[in-house]
Amino acid sequence: MSKIKPAKGSPYARILGVGGYRPTRVVPNEVILETIDSSDEWIRSRSGIASRHWASPQETVAAMSVEASGKALADAGISPEQIGAVIVSTVSHFKQTPAVATEIAHRIGAGKPAAFDISAGCAGFGYGLTLAKGMVVEGSAEYVLVIGVERLSDLTDLEDRATAFLFGDGAGAVVVGPSDEPAIGPTVWGSEGDKSETIKQTVPWDEFRSTDTAQKFPAITQEGQAVFRWAVFEMAKVAQQALDAAGITPDDLDVFIPHQANMRIIDSMVKTLKLPEHVTVARDVETTGNTSAASIPLAMERLLATGAAKSGDTALVIGFGAGLVYAATVVTLP
């Protein structure tokens, strides 16, 4: 018989606060057109993107995360010292070790929390949220800071007509803590590694180092049509599974916050899921672009800040991308 004492966590977990940071520089499509043969009309019709934010040298992955985290902590009414773990999802922090989460924890004054990075692409926020929920319920941390942050401008090939216009920079953060009622539903997540070549880094770092220095810096590339079909048809199924797991129907939803990859994908998912007209749909991609792991918390923060969504609303969130990986859950908005 085990001698291990049972965990003393909370029966449930919830998102208590959210914060976002967008770099000060706004980059309209006209800037992108300086390096690719295209048009503003083509970019908007293909992606719905009109502009995006690009970080300055001072707006590092850590610096943007600190700004977003400060807002999330203030929104939650939680002091940095109360944070028991910091989880950062990013694919654009170029220092292999230590984890940028440790730097962020120190800079926000969090004391000595557990701190680590995860790499799950555009599904990374959902992965981090799920881990945070488990920590709170299990009792290893009372409050967890979950951050999605990217500087994808560093990994964008501005001469690639298929991707140059897609990516933006930014950071989004949430504080997850105890709850007396269910407020983060079961997560439906997974991976399809047989499709890993559809979104990838062009050249591995070791290969880049060992080849001619004239070679282009590694960038993100993707097979657009394959990704589109997968996202529209397969991710709508995952979203429905998350609704089923939470025990609700589309009629029970107030808000839909999908990964902000492409406006056409978002609109197609809304149609496939047959979401009622009363459901508010996040379309932050228009002015923020695709910010990978940061896109869901950034979209959530904007919906709440503008009043398009309100505290207590029931929201379906789903992230999907490189891997190919995905994660979907239903949450109560802070």
Average confidence (pLDDT) over 31-59: 97
**pLDDT for residue 213:** 62
C-beta separation of 14 from 332 below 8 A? yes
**pLDDT for residue 208:** 79
pLDDT at 214 over 80: no
**pLDDT for residue 211:** 63
Q: How far apart are CA 71 and CA 94, in angstroms?
A: 25
β-bridge mates for residue 328, sequence order = 188, 318
- pLDDT tens digits along 116-148: 999 999 999 999 999 999 999 999 999 999 999
Nearest of 176, 210, 182 to residue 12 by alpha carbon: 182
**pLDDT for residue 9:** 86
Q: Name the percent of the chain lying above pLDDT 90.
A: 84
Mean pLDDT of the chain: 95
C-beta separation of 141 from 9 below 8 A? no
Average confidence (pLDDT) over 268-297: 97
**pLDDT for residue 215:** 74
Which residues, 6+ apart, have CB-to-CB distance to 108 below 8 Å?
66, 69, 70, 73, 80, 83, 145
**pLDDT for residue 7:** 75
What pTM value is reported for the model? 0.95
203-237: string of b/e by CB count within 10 Å (b at 16+)? beeeebeeeeeeeeebbbbbebeebbebbbeebbe
Q: How confident is the model at residue 99 (pLDDT cuts 50, 70, 90)?
A: very high
**Catalytic center residues:** 122, 259, 290
Nearest of 25, 168, 41 to residue 92 by alpha carbon: 168
